[in-house]
Structure 1
Amino acid sequence: MTRRGNSRNEKQAPGGPLSEQDAIRIMSGLASAFYVLDENSDFIYMNEKAARLLGQEGKDLEGRNAWTEFPDAVPAGLKEMYDRIRETGIAETKEIYYRPAGLWLQVDAQEIGEGRIAVLFHDISRYKEAETRLELLAYRDNLTGLPNRSSAIQRITESIGKGKPFSVVLFDIDSFRQLNDLHGHQAGDRYIRGIAERLKGILEDGEVVTRIGADEFIFLTRRTDPDELKQWVQELFRQTAISVRLYDHVSFSASASVGISRYPEDATTTAELLSMADHAMHESKTKRGNCFQLFHDQMRKRLDRRRVIEDDLFSGNFKENGFACVFQPQLDGESGRLLGIETLSRWDHPELGVLPPSEFIPIAEETGKIKELTIHLLNLVLEKGQRWDMQYGRVPRMAVNVTSSLLNDKQFFSTIMKMLGKWEIPPDRFEIEITEWKETLSSNLVLSNLRKCRSQGISVAIDDFGTGFSGLSYLTNFPVDKIKIDRFFVSGIGRVGKSEAILKSVVSLAEGLGCELIAEGVETGEQRRFLLDIGCRGIQGYYFDAPLPPGEFEEKYLRS
C-alpha cells in the first residue's frame, strides 16, 4: 500500500519523521516560551507562554519583523546571535536582560533549515537575583557592609589595568585583640562598625576602603606623593584616636599602623602591591602606634631575602640546604656535672650565610613548614642520641624547644613517641621546652598533649620564664618539671636589685612546687656565685660553654 502523504488526518508509521506542523504543535505545549523566525527574522509562530512573557498576542505577530516589534532585543545581542547561527549552523545559548519586561531571559536558539531560527527562552530573573545576592556576599563584608578582601583584590587589579598611578594603603588597628579580650567580641564588632563609618566619611571621589580582616582595612587612593600621603594618613590616625562608644559607660580608642605601596613605583602586580604594603605595615608596627611607612628599597631587599628563605623551606631539602643543630650544655654550677643539653637549630644557608632561628623559625611557622622542619631537626638530634648511647653507654637529657602550633597538633604526641621509638631513645632522656604564650595556655589540646608526654616520662620545661604571658598561670595549669629563668633577670645580677629579688622569689617558688631550675644566659663568675648562693644550681650560658657543634660537644662532654 502506497503512502500518500503526511496529512494531519493520516497516522504516521511508528518511528517515522515528524512534520513541521507536528513539531510546532508539540513545542506550543511546552512550559518554555517558544517562537520561530523565518530567514528575514519575521515571526512564523509564537506559543502562548512566549506571548505572555513578551506582552503580545502571538497570532498578531505572525509575519511581522522581530527587530521592528522588539527593538530592545537588538542591543541585547539577539540579532547578532541569530545572524551568526544562520551563518554557522551552530546552536547557541545566551542570557540577556530584556529591559521593557524587566526580565532576565535565557535564550536557546538553533537553525532549523532555510534560514529559519527556532527559539526557546525562559525567565531566569529569580536565579539572577539569587546570583546577585551571592555575589554581594562574596564581595561584601557582612559586619561593616564595606567591600571585602576579594573585592579589594579585584579593584586593585582593575586599577592596574587603567594604568594610572595609585597607592595601596594597608591600615591595621593596634590593640584590637586586647579589646576583644577585655570586653568580648560583641564590643569588638561595635568598635569596627564605628571605625568603618568614620573611615568611609573621609573618602574623596575615586577612593575606596575595604575591610580585609578583623582589624585590617585597605584603602585605594590616587595619592602617591609622600607628603600628600602623610597628611592624609594623619587624618586616618585622628579618626581612630577618637573614642567609639561601646556601651553606656565603656568607650575605646586605639592607635593604628599603616603600610603603603605605590603603583607603578613599587610594583606592577596585585600580589606584589599587597605584599609590599603588608611588609611596610609590619615595619611601622615596630615603631609602636600611629606610624606609617612607605615601602622602600631596604624593605625590598628584606622581602627578597624572605622569599629566598620561603622557597628553600618549601623545597623540603633541609639537609642539602644546610639545616643543622648545635648543643648547649646545662651544668651543675657547683660540680660542673652535665645535667642535660639544649638543642638549638642552625641554618647555614648556601646563599644567605648563617641564619639565626629568630629569623627562619617565624617564617617556617607562617608558611606552615614548621612541622617538617622540626621533624628533620629531631631526627638529627635523636640519631646523635642513639649513637652516643651505643658508644658511651649514656644519653644526656635532650631538651628541644617546641612551638605552640606543634603543641596544638592532634598528632604531636604520637609523632614524638614514634620518633623516640625509631631511634631507641628512652622518653626520660627527652625534654620539651615550651615558651609562655597565651595561645598555648588557653588550648586544651596543648594541655592534653603535654600530659600524655609527661605520663610516658618526657619532662616539660618552661623556657624564658617570667617574660611571657603569665608564668604563674603556667605553673598552675600545666604539668611542669623544670623552670628556665630568662637571661633578662640573670643579666641584672649585681646591677638591678629588683632582678635579684625576683630571682630569689623564683627559686623559692620552684622549691615549693618541686620543679628543677636552670638559669639561662649565665656569663660571669659573679652571676654563677649569686645563683648558687640562692639555691639555683642549674647553669646554662657562656660562662661554661656556647652552643657547640655535635663533634665538639661529644669530645668535651662525653668522650672524656
Structure 2
Amino acid sequence: MKSFGLLSYKYGGAEGDLMIKRYAVAVRKWLAEDETLAHLGGDNFMALVKKSRTAEFLHLLEKVEVTAKYMGRVVPVYIAAAAGAYEITAKDGDPRDIMNGLSIAVSYARQHKLPYAFLTDKMLEETVDVQRMEQMLPEALEKREFQVYYQPKVDIRTGQIVGTEALARWIHNGEVIQPFRFIPTMERNGFIIHLDLYILKRVCEAINEWIEKGYKLVPISVNISRNDISGVGHDPRMLAERIIRIIKEYDIDPKYIIIEVTETTEASEQKDLYDFIKNMSEAGIATSIDDFGTGCSTLSVLRDFPVNEIKIDRSFINHEAFSTQDQIIIKSIIQMARQLNLNVITEGVETEEQARFLLELGCNHAQGYLYDKPLEQSAFESRLSVGGYDRKI
C-alpha cells in the first residue's frame, strides 16, 4: 500500500489494522477460485493471478475502497497500492527467486511513484549495482573518499559571495561519482545519516582552516536528509543534539552553519521536521528550506516553522520565457518571506536573464551555474579569497 502509515496516523493504530483486514477482504472478493491472496505482514500482500486477468487486477489495485470509523462515523477510504508484477513460468521453480523478483519490482514502483511495475532485466542489473554500491559505502566513508564541494550563493546586485552550500561528491578510483548515483541508495538503507554528519564535520574542519588563513567567512549550508529526521528509529531531538555537539567540538560559531532540509507533505514527518527545526533555532543554528514551492505544505512552513531561509526551486525559473503566473508566484513568495524576515535565495540560476528577472521581483540572492558549478575546496578557497565575481546585474 502507499503511505499506509498516514492512515494509521489519521484513524489510529487499531482502526488501521482493521482497515488492512478490510482491504484483504475487498481484494479477495475479486479473485477467482483458483487465484489466491497472501498477507506477508504489515501492509504487504502477494497475489497469484491468471495472466489473462493481470491488467484488470492491477487496475483494481489503483483504487480499492474500504471503510473506516472516523469521529463516530463510518467513512469510505480509497487505498492505492504500489505493485510489482512478475510473470511466473515453468522454469521458475524456486519461490525465493520469485519473491526476490517481486520485491525488486515493488521497490522500483515505489521509487518512481508508479502504481505498478513489471520486473525487467534492467531492474535486476540495477539491483546488482545498488547492492555492490551498498557494500562499498562503509569503506568509502572510512577512507574519506567522500569530498566536500562548495557551490557559492551570490548577491545578484554586487556579485559578492554571501554564502555557499556544501555538497557531497564520491571520488572512487579517480572517478567523481555524482550524488544521484549514491544518495538514493543511502536514503533507502539508512546510511545517509553517516554521510550527512561526516560532511558537517568536514565543513567544520574547513571553517577552522579558513579562519587560520584569514579568509572572510560566509555561512555554509549543510544538507540533512529528511530520512535522518523521520527515518525508522530516528529521533529529531537526538539528531539535533548530535549536530550541536559536532559544532561545539570544532568550536565553530553557529552563525557560520545553516542546516538545509526539504519540506514534506507527510503529516507525521512534518511534526518531526518542526521539532528538529525548533531545536536548531533554540541552539542559534539557522535553517533553510530547500526546493521551496514544490511541496504541498509551503504556506504552513512559512507560517509555523522557525526557519531563517527559503530556497526557491529552480523549476520556477527554468523556462525559455517567464509567464505572468511565474512572476505572480515568485513575487508572492518573496514578499511573504520578507514580511516574515526570511532570507530568500533562488537555485538553478544559469542565465543573466533569469538573474535580472529575479532582481526585478525582489530576490537579491542566487545560486547556480551563472556564477559557478560546485567547486573543490581549493577552487572555492580561491574564489572566497577574492570575495566574489565581476558579474553584476
Alignment TM-score > 0.5, same fold:
yes
What is the distance in 2 between the residues matched to 1:176 and 1:507?
36
Gaps of 5+ in 2: 230-234, 388-393
Q: What do the CA deviations read for 1:512-548 (whole angstroms, capped 9, x no partner)?
A: 1011111111111111111111211111111111111
What is the distance in 2 between the residues matched to 1:552 and 1:458?
27
Determine helix, strand or coil for the equivalent of 2:337: helix
Amino acid at match of 1:218: M
Change (3 A) 1:286 1:385: closer
Change (3 A) 1:333 1:242: closer
Q: TM-score, normalised by structure 1?
A: 0.60
Matched, 1:344 2:172: no
Matches within 5 A, 1:89-488: 173-174=1-2, 176=4, 188-201=16-29, 202=31, 204-205=33-34, 208-219=36-47, 221=48, 228-229=50-51, 231-232=53-54, 234-235=56-57, 237-238=59-60, 241=63, 243-246=65-68, 250-261=75-86, 262=88, 268=94, 270=96, 273-285=98-110, 291-293=116-118, 295-313=119-137, 315-318=138-141, 320=143, 322-350=145-173, 353-407=175-229, 408-439=235-266, 442=269, 446-488=273-315
What is the distance in 2 between the residues matched to 1:267 and 1:382?
55
Contact 2:8 2:15 in 1 (8 A): yes
Contact 1:237 1:255 in 2 (8 A): no
Determine helix, strand or coil for the equivalent of 2:374: coil
Task: Report deviation, 1:180.
Answer: 5.5
Task: Report deviation, 1:493.
Answer: 7.4
Contact 2:62 2:79 in 1 (8 A): yes
Change (3 A) 1:372 1:536: same
Amino acid at match of 1:307: Q
Task: Report deviation, 1:371.
Answer: 2.2
What is the distance in 2 between the residues matched to 1:175 and 1:446?
18
Gaps of 5+ in 1: 1-172
Task: Report deviation, 1:421.
Answer: 2.7
Change (3 A) 1:406 1:284: closer
Q: What do the CA deviations read for 1:450-499 (whole angstroms, capped 9, x no partner)?
A: 33332333211111111124111112221111111111112247333212
In the alignment of these two chains, the number of paired residues is 377
Larger Rg: 1
Change (3 A) 1:428 1:239: closer
Q: What do the CA deviations read for 1:62-106 (whole angstroms, capped 9, x no partner)?
A: xxxxxxxxxxxxxxxxxxxxxxxxxxxxxxxxxxxxxxxxxxxxx
What is the distance in 2 between the residues matched to 1:521 and 1:217?
42
Determine helix, strand or coil for the equivalent of 1:410: helix
Q: What do the CA deviations read for 1:39-83 (whole angstroms, capped 9, x no partner)?
A: xxxxxxxxxxxxxxxxxxxxxxxxxxxxxxxxxxxxxxxxxxxxx
What is the distance in 1 between the residues matched to 2:100 and 2:311?
38
Determine helix, strand or coil for the equivalent of 2:147: strand
Is the deviation greater in 427-436 or in 462-471?
462-471
What is the distance in 1 between the residues matched to 2:62 and 2:176?
42
Is the deviation greater in 485-494 or in 382-391?
485-494
Amino acid at match of 1:508: Q
Change (3 A) 1:182 1:455: closer
Determine helix, strand or coil for the equivalent of 1:536: coil
Amino acid at match of 2:170: W
Contact 1:483 1:517 in 2 (8 A): yes
Change (3 A) 1:543 1:243: same
Task: Identify the residue that residue 522 of structure 1 maps to in structure 2.
Answer: 349
Task: Report deviation, 1:378.
Answer: 1.8
Change (3 A) 1:469 1:238: closer
What is the distance in 2 between the residues matched to 1:287 and 1:456?
37
What is the distance in 2 between the residues matched to 1:455 and 1:174?
35
Amino acid at match of 1:552: A
Task: Report deviation, 1:503.
Answer: 0.5
- Identity over aligned residues, as a percent? 29
Q: TM-score, normalised by structure 2?
A: 0.83
Q: What is the RMSD of the two structures over their aligned residues, measured on CA atoms?
A: 3.2
